[in-house]
Amino acid sequence: MHDLLFSGAVPLAESQHDMSKKFHVTLHDIAQQVNVSKVTVSKALRGHPDISAETVKKIKSVASELGYFPNYMARNLSSNRSHTIGVVVPKIAHFFFSAVIEAIYDAALENNYDIILTVSQENVERELRQIRSLLSMRVDGIIISVTQQTKDPAIFYQVKEMGIPVTFMDRAIDGEGFNSVVADDFGGAYTATEYAIKSGFQRIGHLGGFAHTMIGKERFRGFKAAMQHYKMPLHPEWIVRGGFSDADGYDGFMKLYESHKLPDFLFAVTYPVALGVHQAARQVGMNIPKDIDIISFGPHGLNEMFSPQMNYIEQPTIELGKKAVELTLNNIRQRDGFIPQKITLPTKLVLCDQEFKKVAS
Amino acid sequence: MHDLLFSGAVPLAESQHDMSKKFHVTLHDIAQQVNVSKVTVSKALRGHPDISAETVKKIKSVASELGYFPNYMARNLSSNRSHTIGVVVPKIAHFFFSAVIEAIYDAALENNYDIILTVSQENVERELRQIRSLLSMRVDGIIISVTQQTKDPAIFYQVKEMGIPVTFMDRAIDGEGFNSVVADDFGGAYTATEYAIKSGFQRIGHLGGFAHTMIGKERFRGFKAAMQHYKMPLHPEWIVRGGFSDADGYDGFMKLYESHKLPDFLFAVTYPVALGVHQAARQVGMNIPKDIDIISFGPHGLNEMFSPQMNYIEQPTIELGKKAVELTLNNIRQRDGFIPQKITLPTKLVLCDQEFKKVAS
DNA sequence: GTGAAAGCGCTAACAA
DNA sequence: TTGTTAGCGCTTTCAC
Q: What is the pLDDT of residues A18-43, one digit of tens each?
A: 333 356 899 999 998 888 988 999 98
Strand D contacts (CB < 7 A) among B residues 77-96? 77-79
Domain assignment present for B355: no
User: The domain spanning residue A289 has which CATH number?
Assistant: 3.40.50.2300
Q: If pLDDT is split at 50, 70 and 90, which confidence band does B303 have?
A: low
B84/B135 same-domain check: yes
By Cβ distance, the residue of A22, A132, A163 closest to B163 is A22
- From the alpha carbon of A71, which nucleotide's C1' atom is closest? C9
Give the per-residue pLDDT at B200. Answer: 93
* B72 to A137: CB separation less than 8 angstroms, yes or no: yes
Domain assignment present for B359: no
Give the per-residue pLDDT at B169. Answer: 97
- Residue B289 backbone phi and psi in degrees, to 5: -95, 5
A178/A193 same-domain check: no
Q: What is the pLDDT of residues A166-215, one digit of tens each?
A: 999 999 888 889 999 999 999 999 999 999 999 999 999 999 989 988 89
Separation of alpha carbons B276 and B249, rounded Å? 4
Q: What is the pLDDT of residues B124-144, one digit of tens each?
A: 999 999 999 999 999 999 999
Give the per-residue pLDDT at B260. Answer: 84
B224/B245 same-domain check: yes
A53/A102 same-domain check: no
Taken in order B180, B186, B192, B194, the sign of the CA dihedral is: negative
* A163 to B22: CB separation less than 8 angstroms, yes or no: yes
Å separating the CA of residue B32 from the C1' of nucleotide D12? 21
Mean pLDDT, chain A, rounded, equals 86
B323/B175 same-domain check: yes
| Total domains present in chain A | 3
Give the DSSP per-residue string, B260-318. T---SEEEESSHHHHHHHHHHHHHTT--TTTT-EEEEE--TT-GGG-SSPPEEEEP-HH
* B278 to A133: CB separation less than 8 angstroms, yes or no: no
**Ramachandran class of A295: left when φ > 0, alpha when ψ lies in -120 to 50, beta otherwise:** beta
* Polymer length of chain B: 361
List Cβ neighbours of B175 (8 Å cut-off, separation of 6 or more): B153, B156, B157
Å separating the CA of residue B47 from the C1' of nucleotide C3? 17
| Boundary residue ending a domain (A315, A330, A354) | A315
Residue A144's closest CA among A118, A119, A169, A175? A169
3-state secondary structure of B81: coil
Domain assignment present for B52: yes
Q: What is the pLDDT of residues B79-114, one digit of tens each?
A: 888 999 999 999 999 889 999 999 999 999 999 999
B191/B272 same-domain check: yes
Separation of alpha carbons B296 and B309, rounded Å? 12
Domain assignment present for B94: yes
Domain assignment present for B350: no
Domain assignment present for A357: no
Give the per-residue pLDDT at A21. Answer: 39
B89/B130 same-domain check: yes
pTM metric for this prediction: 0.88
Q: What is the pLDDT of residues A292-324, one digit of tens each?
A: 999 999 876 666 666 567 889 999 999 999 999
User: The domain spanning residue A32 has which CATH number?
Assistant: 1.10.260.40
Radius of gyration of chain B measured on its C-alpha atoms: 27
B192/B298 same-domain check: yes
| Boundary residue ending a domain (B70, B105, B122) | B70
By Cβ distance, the residue of B20, B92, B95 closest to A80 is B20
| Boundary residue ending a domain (B40, B70, B100) | B70
Domain assignment present for B89: yes
A85/A158 same-domain check: yes
A97/A62 same-domain check: no
Residue to substitute from B19, B66, B72, interface A, most A β-carbons within 10 A: B72
Residue B23's closest CA among B37, B7, B44, B39? B7
Question: Chain-centre distance of CA A72, in angstroms?
Answer: 25
3-state secondary structure of A102: helix
B309/B336 same-domain check: no
Domain assignment present for A65: yes
**Residue range A67-79: mean pLDDT, rounded:** 92
The domain containing residue B124 runs over which residues? 79-183+317-345
Give the per-residue pLDDT at A257. Answer: 93
A201/A307 same-domain check: yes
* B275 to A305: CB separation less than 8 angstroms, yes or no: yes
